[in-house]
Structure 1
Amino acid sequence: MKTNNNDSVHSKPPMTEPLESQSDSKSRITRRAVLGVGLATATGAGATGYAATRYLRAESAPESQEHPESTDGDPDQQYHLTATIGELDVAPGETIETWLYNDQYPGPELRVEEGERVQITVENDLPEETSVHWHGMALKDANEMDGVPGVTQPPIEPSDEFVYEFDVAPTGTHWYHSHVGLQLDRGLLGPLIVEEADPHVEYDREHTIVLDEYLASEPEVTSEGMGMMGGFPGAPPYDGTLVNGKLPSEPDTLTVMEGERVRLRFLNAGSATTYRVAIAGHPMEITHADGPGVEPVEVDGFDIGMGERFDAIITANEPGTWEIQVHPLGEEAPAGRATLQYEETDDEEPRDELSGSQLLDYSDLRAVDSLDQYDGSPDYTIDLDLSSGGMMGGGDEDEWTINGQAYPDADPLRIEEGEHVQVQVTNHSPMRHPMHLHGHHFEVDGALQDTVTVPGHMGQRTLNFVADNPGDWFFHCHNLYHMETGMVRVFEYD
């Protein structure tokens, strides 16, 4: 019997970097496209309005804000979110003014059951336009609900509202967040959980764990990676790491009972940071990746890129209080932590010794459901090169590009309904790029995900998906500052 219990790190040397897996698939290609390098011209780099300016220039921008009528009867669940300015208490005596959903951070957990239809009214009490993207949702036949202003909807103007309605799928751990400018880095985010009717693993209770950066100032595009390689558009220096909205000086506490199997839903809601996660004294079984189930694989830690989700089950057989350790990778930001505390324990100071050093690799993941639809030769293969504008010669130095083009001055990726599409991504930059596809999950190394990190220094990933959900779908880096400065393409098909 599972129950829903949503009680909602000290710096240590991180475990050894995992081997980066690469696909060696050499499938026969019946139709192949290598998109050319084009000249991109970016305009504007304001801290709050840059992406809105870019996106609203898209030629496909909707002209009206009419709410689509429900075609499937009344929704099973209804929620109301208000985007507003509020205060966030991150530690004793440390409060900042920021932007929130329903005056809380993370935003309220929206929980629905498999097969349900949900209606979410979003009210904008901010001084500028906004929108909400439902990260991980397939939105079958509901492209207009995807929340990308200038592509699937007009932005929600101040003092206005928009009603999102869709069938929830797939099951698992997902999230919602603003898709305008740098608003995500102000705190406009929250978990979206779709409960399975029949989970493939058993557990007794669960906790949702949201990882994020702490930025005490307003977000703005800055320069990172200074040195021989020059500078790249990136995030400002962060002041800390938040775990469920708390700094490590007063960490969030997750309670368990001895003998329980506990499902931990990890979500990296950060804007620019990859985290390494481990739980002192407890190995983990990874059971889900970006929502869909995987065959359980035991690890001692894992890396999680921006936008990614991993669910892990631990067996609570070590009474006491233990650290959940969260270390930024390749960043100077301070580490974060939460505590795992057994009920009726007398231990107040958390223990920090790790159980081992086995790290998760994408190649360890094997989907529970059949992947037969991704077998065989793809109908269409697209080669995409990720780079900064200056490195590839196809854009400006203050841009991030895909095949030398920076969005919105970038060609759409035209595909056909029903095609098996293969995307071969090569990263020409030294930075990690977590690439996210809206409206679809793709097969990568034997599992289904909607976000996958492409390692730097010529790292590669091969993604396969079936074009079974017509519409205009964003494909972009989920480093907010890379997306903001152009690392975006749009898959289009009718």
Structure 2
Amino acid sequence: MAPSLPTRSTTDRRTFLRSGTAALAGLAVGGPLLAGCRDADRAAAALPARRPVADGPAREVRLVAGPVEVELAPGRVWRTWGYNGQYPGPEIRVREGERLRVTVENDLPGVGTTVHWHGVPVPNPMDGVPGLTQEPIPPGGRTVYEFEATPSGSYMYHSHQGLQLDRGLLGPLVVEETTPHVEYDREHVLVLDDVLMDAPRPLSELVEDGDGGMGMMGRGGMMGRMRGRDRGQGGGRERGGGMMDGMTGGVVPPYAGLAVNGRLPEAPAEFEVRRGERVRLRLINPGGATTYRVAMGGHRMTVTHTDGRPVEPVTVDRLTIGMGERYDVVVEADNPGVWPLVAATVEGDSAPARAVLRYAGAAGSSLRDGLPEGLQGGRALRYGDLQSVETLPAEGAPDRTFDLRLSGGMMMAPDVWTMGGEAYPDAAPLEVREGERVRVDMSNMSMMLHPMHLHGHFFRTGNVLKDTVQVAPHMGRASFEFVADNPGRWFFHCHNLYHLHAGMAREVRYV
């Protein structure tokens, strides 16, 4: 059943950090049915868009990056940056296999920018990583990104220049299935984001001004609990809490609030449903530094996709979504009323983001108070619950293995984050050859969760395909394997924006 929603050059480390800081300077102002899921031609090796750009007319989209003024709630106006005069940026919606041509114009004040198509295995020159796949689009300039929109799924687009993502340069990208994997009557896209009212600042400045560099004890430790308050407009703050109900620790920016589709919880976005409908929710987290636990009042959620890839349906009361991750869920609209969807930080240190699910005809009903029961008990989604409905690559010995320790946030250097003991862009590339089976093993030596994202590829982790995977803090481990079948120079990094900016990234280079 169709959805009812309408289409709405390598740098050195000093240059890398300088370009990011320069980019900040101008900001100081102001139970579903699945079908056709096991076909052999859906094998993982065939998933990424390796084919030439499709023939025929392209879907033309224009994005203009520039200053915007948006109302997040009555009396709360954010003067920031966005696309096409709005935040989040406009939804881009195309059909699987359609050719997409996006012209990006840079109207930002005095800084370059790029656009990255997060999760879509685009040709390498289209990936939007400054200093790796392209030079930044200069002020007043434009560039064209063109690629085949495949495979289907929930994705996002965002700037990959400096810390620009945390000023609102982001938006949802939906590639609709040619043959839907899930039946539903209505669809809504929910973009979860952390709102930073002032210019984003590197960790080095947050630590210096906020005295927040106690990463040795960090989130979840004694110091994290003692110092879990907002440190004001200038400094960062520490958190306590965890991933998949675990624990984390470290310094984060002084966010003013958490938003769903650009609305703060005091004036939440509302979504209408009708009793008896199957409602598909596309949950997208492009945020700078926040991992959420998501639950819905009065309803359970059936997970059908992760990072755009279809999975066997699994019904849960809550799920955890890290920066860069996406989950599609189906909600059975069988409990009329007005219900909250709540996205709480895993640390529990901020007022949760909220949206409202309102049944048609419930105009006079009041919103149910309190946190959904799913945040206080019930079944939590685990990665081990996820089973791909696509044919996965056969397991076998890898041709190449990388063993990477994720480290940083220590007391003597709280603003340095590394992978394998090296910080980008000075880190040596991870070299692979086309056709190889590559394995990456990661161990987290830090107090903070790290959502690790690989550009240009889907990888197998456990029994599922993803492009972003959370690595739990305090000696947590995660592994994935991928087939090196998309030649180029690809970014691999932590999707905590501030860890990335502080060096937690590597290049995967085909040789």
TM-score normalized with structure 1 length: 0.85
* 2:115 partner amino acid: V
Q: Residues 374 and 415 of structure 1: is their aligned pair in 2 closer, same or farther, counting only changes over 3 Å?
A: farther
Equivalent residue for 2:460?
443
Which residue among 107, 120, 130 is the counterpart of 2:113?
Answer: 130
Instruction: Provide the C-alpha distance between the structure 1 equivalents of 2:304 and 2:390, rounded to a whole number of angstroms.
Output: 13
Q: Distance in 1 between matches of 2:62 and 2:17?
A: 32
Residue 3 of structure 1: CA displacement?
Answer: 2.1
Instruction: Measure how far apart 1:76 and its partner are.
Output: 2.8
After superposition, the Cα gap between the structure-2 partners of 1:384 and 1:52, relative to the gap in structure 1 and judged at 3 Å, is farther
> Which has a greater percent of helix?
2
Q: Which whole-Å CA distance do the structure 2 matches of 1:170 and 1:434 have between them?
A: 22
Q: 8 Å contact 2:155–2:326 — kept in the other structure?
A: yes
C-alpha separation between the residues in 1 aligned to 2:143 and 2:447?
39
Amino acid at match of 2:256: D
**Aligned counterparts of 1:448 and 1:207: Cα–Cα separation in 2:** 23
Q: Residue 227 and residue 363 in structure 1: after superposition, are their counterparts in 2 closer, same or farther (change >3 A)?
A: closer
Question: 3-state DSSP class of the match of 1:399?
Answer: strand
**Aligned-residue offset at 1:244:** 0.7
Q: 2:254 aligns with which of 227, 237, 246?
A: 237
**Is there any run of 5+ residues in structure 1 with no aligned partner, and where?**
9-39, 54-69
1:377 correspondence with 2:388: no
Q: What is the CA-CA distance between 1:350 and the residue it aligns to?
A: 1.3
1:314 corresponds to 2:331: yes
SS at structure 2 position matched to 1:144: helix
Q: Is 2:83 the counterpart of 1:111?
A: no
Please report how far the alpha carbon of residue 273 of structure 1 lies from its aligned counterpart in structure 2 after TM superposition.
0.5
Match of 1:5 in 2: 5
- CA 1:44–1:77 in 2, change beyond 3 Å: closer, same or farther? closer
1:488 aligned residue: 505
Aligned length: 441
Mapped to 1, the partners of 2:216 and 2:85 lie a distance apart of: 44
Amino acid at match of 2:430: L
Distance 2:83 2:324 in 1: 18
Say if 1:380 and 1:420, in contact at 8 Å, map to a contact too: yes
**Equivalent residue of 1:398, what SS?**
strand
Residue identity matched to 1:381: T
**Aligned partners of 1:228, 1:175: CA distance in 2, in Å?**
34
Residue aligned with 2:457, SS: coil
Structure 1 residues 7 and 82 mapped into 2: Cα distance closer, same or farther (>3 Å)?
closer
Whole-Å separation in 2 of the counterparts to 1:374 and 1:156: 41
Are 1:354 and 2:373 matched, yes or no?
yes
For 1:298 and 1:7, locate their aligned partners in 2 and report how far apart those are by CA, in whole Å: 28
Check conservation: 1:233, 1:398, Cα contact below 8 A: no
Q: Which structure is richer in relative contact order (CA contacts within 8 A, separation 6 or more)? A: 1
SS in 1 for 2:406: strand
Supply the distance in 1 between the matched residues of 2:265 and 2:387 (Cα, whole angstroms): 34
Alignment partner, residue 14 of structure 1: none
Are residue 49 (structure 1) and residue 21 (structure 2) matched?
yes
1:166 to 132, 147, 159: 147
Matches within 5 A, 1:256-335: 256-330=273-347, 332-335=349-352
Q: Which residue identity lines up with residue 342 of structure 1 in the other structure?
A: Y
Deviation, structure 1 residue 354: 2.6
CA contact (8 A) 2:124 2:133 kept: yes
Shift of 1:226: 2.3
CA RMSD of aligned residues (A): 2.3
Q: Output the CA distance in 2 between the equivalents of 1:297 and 1:116.
A: 30
Equivalent of residue 184 in structure 2, options 203, 217, 241: 203
2:2 counterpart letter in structure 1: K
Which residue of structure 1 aligns with residue 160 of structure 2? 179
Q: CA deviation at 1:379?
A: 1.2
Distance (whole Å) between structure 2 residues aligned to residue 389 and residue 335 of structure 1: 25
Equivalent residue for 2:480, pick from 440, 445, 463: 463
Q: Distance in 1 between matches of 2:444 and 2:105?
A: 38
Quick check: 1:213 aligned with 2:185?
no
CA distance in 1, matches of 2:414, 2:14: 10
Verify the 8 A CA contact 1:6 1:207 in the aligned structure 2: no
Structure-2 residue corresponding to 1:453: 470
CA-CA distance at 1:72 after TM superposition: 4.6
How much has 1:183 moved relative to structure 2? 0.3
Say whether the 8 Å CA contact 1:282–1:354 is kept in structure 2: no
Q: Which amino acid aligns with 1:366?
A: Q
- Displacement after TM superposition at 1:378 (Å): 1.2
Quick one: structure 1 residues 466 and 283, their matched pair in 2 at CA, closer, same or farther if it must change by over 3 Å?
same
**How far is the alpha carbon of 1:269 from its aligned partner?**
1.4
TM-score of the superposed pair, with normalisation by structure 2 = 0.82
Partner SS state of residue 272, structure 1: coil
Distance in 2 (CA, whole Å) between partners of 1:172 and 1:291 is 4
CA contact under 8 A between 2:7 and 2:93: conserved in structure 1? no
Q: Pick from 410, 424, 434: which aligns with 1:417?
A: 434
Query: Residue by residue, what CA displacement relative to the aligned partner does 1:181-215 show, whole Å, maximum 9, x if unpaired?
Result: 11000000000000001122210010000000111
Cα offset, 1:346, TM superposition: 4.0
Q: Structure 1 residues 219, 389: CA separation in 2 closer, same or farther (over 3 Å shift)? A: closer
- Residue 424 (structure 1) shift: 0.3
Counterpart contact for 2:121–2:456, Cα < 8 Å: yes
Distance 1:227 1:152 in 2: 33
* Shift, 1:376, TM fit: 1.3
1:67-106 aligned within 5 A: 72-106=54-88
Measured in 2, the distance between the counterparts of 1:164 and 1:7 equals 20
The 1:189/1:98 distance shift into structure 2, 3 A limit, reads same
Q: Structure 2 CA distance, aligned partners of 1:441 and 1:491?
A: 14
Cα contact 1:47–1:218 (8 A) shared by 2: no
> Could you report, residue by residue, the CA deviation over 1:101-134 in whole angstroms, capped at 9, with x for unpaired residues?
0011110000010111100000000021000000
